[in-house]
Amino acid sequence: MMFVEEPTIQSFEATLVSGKPLALAIRENVKRRVLLMDRTPGLATILVGDNAASHTYIKLKGAAAKEAGIHFEKQFYPANATTAELIQAVQALNAREDIHGILVQFPLPEQDEDAIVAAIHPDKDVDGFHPANRARRAEGAPSLVPPVMLGVMHLLRATEQSLRGRIAVVISNSPIFAEPMLVLLKQEGVTAAYRSPEALDVFKTIGDADVVIVAVGRAGFITKEMIKAGAMVVDIGANSVNGKVCGDVCPSVREKASYVTPVPGGVGPLTVAYLIQNVVQAYEMQHSHHSMIRSESSCGVLSS
Nearest Cα to 237, choosing from 209, 262, 204? 262
Catalytic residue among 123, 127, 210, 248: 127
Catalytic residue among 61, 124, 248, 286: 61
Distance in angstroms (rounded) separating the CA atoms of residues 300 and 304: 10
Domains of the chain: 40-123 (3.40.50.10860), 146-267 (3.40.50.720)
Distance in angstroms (rounded) separating the CA atoms of residues 140 and 137: 5
Q: What is the pLDDT along the chain (304 residues), one digit of tens a residue?
A: 333 333 344 556 899 999 999 999 999 999 999 999 999 999 999 999 998 889 999 999 999 999 999 999 999 999 999 999 999 999 999 999 999 999 999 999 999 999 999 999 999 999 999 999 999 988 888 899 999 999 999 999 999 999 999 999 999 999 999 999 999 999 999 999 999 999 999 999 999 999 999 999 999 999 999 999 999 999 999 888 888 889 999 999 999 999 999 999 999 999 999 999 999 999 999 988 654 434 333 333 333 2
Is 61 marked active-site? yes
Is 256 marked active-site? no
Is 105 marked active-site? yes
Residue 291 Rama label (left phi>0; alpha psi -120 to 50; beta)? alpha
Angle CA 235–151–224, to nearest 5: 20
Q: What was the pLDDT predicted at 281?
A: 97
Distance in angstroms (rounded) separating the CA atoms of residues 247 and 250: 8
Residue 131 Rama label (left phi>0; alpha psi -120 to 50; beta)? alpha
Q: What was the pLDDT predicted at 94?
A: 98
